[in-house]
C-alpha cells in the first residue's frame, strides 16, 4: 500500500503538467485557436458585411466561447476518464474559464460578451479538481448518470474559489509584463521571446500559458 501511494505521487508531475496539459492544448486548438483563425479569415479576407463572412465570424465567436468546454473535455480524455465524466468535464471547464467573473457575482457571458474565451488557467484548475475527485467514484455506482454530473457541478462551485487565486496571479503577471513592456519595449521583447522559446521546448501547453496572460497584457498596453 505504501509503495502504491508513493508510486502514485511520483506520477503526479507527469500527470498534471504533461498529460493534462496535452489535453488542454488540444482543447485550445479545436476551440479558441481554430476560432481565431476562422475569425481572421472572415474579417480580413471575406468581410463581415455579407452573409458568408458574418456567419463565419459568428461561428468563430461560438468556437472561442467554448474554449473552457474544450479544455475540460481534452483534459478528461487525456487522463483516461470514462465517457460520462469526460462530458461532465465540459461544464467544469466552462465554469473555470469564467471563475474570476463568477467570483464577483457577474453573469459571465453578459459581462464579457459573446466570443470571449475566458481564462484557460481557471478552466484547467477547476477541471482537474472535478475529474480527480469525481473520478474516485465514477463508474463504481449504479447512479452514475446522476452522481457524476451533479458531483461535477457542485465541485465546480467550490472550484471557482480554488481557481480564483491562480487567475489573479496570472492577471497580475500580465499587468507587470504590460508595464515593463511600455517602459523598456526592446528588452522586454527579447525577454518574452526567450521565455516563449523555452516554453515551446517543454512538454507543456505554451499556447495556454501565453493566452492566459496575453489578454491582460493587451489591456494593460491599451490603458497605457
**170-183 pLDDT per residue, tens:** 888 777 777 777 88
Residue 224 counted as domain residue? no
Burial status of residue 201 (CB atoms within 10 A of its CB: 0-12, 13-18, 19 or more): exposed
The per-residue pLDDT for 189 is 80
Q: Provide the percentage of residues in the chain whose pLDDT is more than 90.
A: 50
Greater confidence (108 vs 28) lies with 28
Average pLDDT over residues 46-50: 92
Residue 203 counted as domain residue? no
The per-residue pLDDT for 30 is 94
The per-residue pLDDT for 222 is 47
The per-residue pLDDT for 42 is 95
The per-residue pLDDT for 219 is 46
* Total domains present in the chain: 1
Mean pLDDT of the chain: 84
Residue 190 counted as domain residue? no
Residue 200 counted as domain residue? no
Domain span at residue 6 reads 2-163
Residue 44 counted as domain residue? yes
Q: Helical H runs in the chain?
A: 2-14, 20-28, 34-40, 51-65, 67-78, 83-97, 99-103, 108-112, 120-134, 144-183, 185-200, 206-223
Residue 209 counted as domain residue? no
Residue showing cell 465546480: 156
Residue 134 counted as domain residue? yes
Residue 16 counted as domain residue? yes
The per-residue pLDDT for 200 is 63
Amino acid at each position: 500500500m505504501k509503495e502504491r501511494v508513493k508510486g502514485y505521487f511520483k506520477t503526479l508531475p507527469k500527470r498534471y503538467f504533461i498529460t493534462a496539459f496535452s489535453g488542454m492544448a488540444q482543447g485550445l486548438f479545436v476551440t479558441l485557436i481554430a476560432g481565431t483563425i476562422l475569425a481572421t479569415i472572415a474579417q480580413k479576407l471575406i468581410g463581415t458585411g455579407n452573409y458568408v463572412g458574418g456567419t463565419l465570424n459568428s461561428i468563430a465567436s461560438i468556437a472561442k466561447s467554448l474554449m473552457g468546454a474544450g479544455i475540460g473535455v481534452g483534459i478528461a480524455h487525456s487522463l483516461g476518464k470514462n465517457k460520462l465524466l469526460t462530458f461532465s468535464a465540459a461544464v467544469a471547464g466552462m465554469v473555470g474559464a469564467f471563475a474570476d467573473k463568477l467570483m464577483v457575482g457577474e453573469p459571465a457571458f453578459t459581462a464579457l460578451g459573446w466570443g470571449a474565451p475566458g481564462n484557460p488557467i481557471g478552466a484547467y484548475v477547476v477541471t482537474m479538481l472535478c475529474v480527480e475527485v469525481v473520478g474516485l467514484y465514477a463508474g463504481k455506482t449504479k447512479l452514475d448518470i446522476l452522481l457524476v454530473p451533479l458531483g461535477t457541478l457542485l465541485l465546480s462551485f467550490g472550484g471557482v474559489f480554488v481557481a480564483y487565486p491562480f487567475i489573479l496571479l496570472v492577471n497580475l503577471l500580465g499587468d507587470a509584463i504590460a508595464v515593463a513592456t511600455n517602459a523598456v519595449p526592446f528588452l522586454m521583447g527579447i525577454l518574452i521571446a526567450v521565455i516563449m522559446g523555452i516554453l515551446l521546448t517543454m512538454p507543456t501547453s505554451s499556447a495556454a500559458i501565453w493566452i492566459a496572460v496575453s489578454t491582460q497584457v493587451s489591456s494593460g498596453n491599451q490603458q497605457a
